[in-house]
Copies of this chain bind each other. A is one copy, B any other.
């Protein structure tokens, strides 16, 4: 079954989204990458990654972008799709999160769709009850500022329950929550 899920979104102990990638710390995260056929992300996240592409992503992922599948970027400004190395094509969607999800589901061809972030993009999909499962990583750090993952949800998170919680050295916690049987959806 095709699911819509957040995978490997890293937050601090005090709840703030971090720009560090949880998979640097544990194989658990990389394993869950399998069967993702498309990724959706916010415009800010795309701009941040794209701007720092060489310095940041190459160091972790080798020569190619981390996606080898279609990426859908939410934006208010229509723009031509662009092809990147490693089989990643980036599409820009300007008609809302539902439209982006529909396109991503089609493009994923039966595989799962990942809501990549940032926090506010994930919150929009959670509020709309469109996320089936969310895996996030709690890193052993305090940040004290920024965007919280669990914010602006207006109670939408109450329909989820914790289905997995694993800690691994050096003090990283992996959490997976999923829509509860009695919850929404």
Contacts and interface: CB of A to CB of B under 8 A. Distances in A.
Q: Main SS of chain A's interface residues? A: mixed
A20 to B, nearest CB: 14
Interface string A127-144: 000000000001011111
Copies of the chain in the assembly: 2
A171 interface: yes
Interface stretch (A26-34, A42-50, A68-76, A158-166): A158-166
Contacts of A138: 138, 173
A85 to B, nearest CB: 37
Interface size class of A (residues with CB under 8 A): 20 to 34
Interface of A: 13-15, 138, 140-145, 148, 150, 153, 155-158, 160-162, 164-167, 171-173, 175, 177
